[in-house]
């Protein structure tokens, strides 16, 4: 199944420094999956310091997932330690190049 990205998702990935590779990895190998009432699916993958959340809309006729939004949610430990964006794990940042 192919994975495509909405403009909003691309903007959030850039803003939040989350790479395309990490989003794809989360969709293909999630630790948790939730089916939402509007038909979307949320994929969650544990990472050092928190979780990556990816919300997708299935496009079965096209055999695609449309990534609608992406974010990193720090774990409660990281929040309690006053974690900042600069302290996020390197693999949650957008790859350079």
With CA atoms as reference, report the closest residue to 22 among 36, 32, 30.
30
Residue found under tokens 């720090």: 74
For residues 66-73, give the mean pLDDT: 97
Backbone phi and psi for residue 92, each to the nearest 5 degrees, phi listed first: -95, -5
Domain that holds residue 47: 2-73
DSSP 8-state assignment for residue 61: G
Domain annotation covers residue 89:
no
Determine the Cα–Cα distance for residues 11 and 5; give it in Å rounded to an integer: 10
State how many domains the chain has: 1
Do 90 and 33 touch, CB atoms closer than 8 A?
no
For 25-42, the pLDDT digits (tens) are 999 999 999 999 999 999
Average pLDDT, the chain: 85
Domain annotation covers residue 64:
yes
For 2-29, the pLDDT digits (tens) are 999 999 999 999 999 999 999 999 999 9
Q: Return the CATH number at 41.
A: 3.30.2310.20
């Amino acid at each position: 199944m192919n994975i495509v990205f909405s403009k909003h998702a691309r903007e959030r990935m850039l803003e939040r420094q989350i790479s395309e590779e990490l989003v794809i990895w989360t969709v293909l190998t999630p630790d948790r999956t939730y089916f939402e009432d509007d038909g979307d699916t949320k994929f969650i993958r544990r990472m050092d310091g928190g979780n990556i959340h990816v919300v997708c809309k299935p496009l079965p006729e096209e055999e695609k997932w449309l990534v609608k939004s992406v974010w990193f949610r720090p774990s409660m430990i990281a929040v309690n330690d006053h974690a900042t964006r600069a302290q996020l794990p390197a693999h949650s940042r957008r790859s350079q190049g």
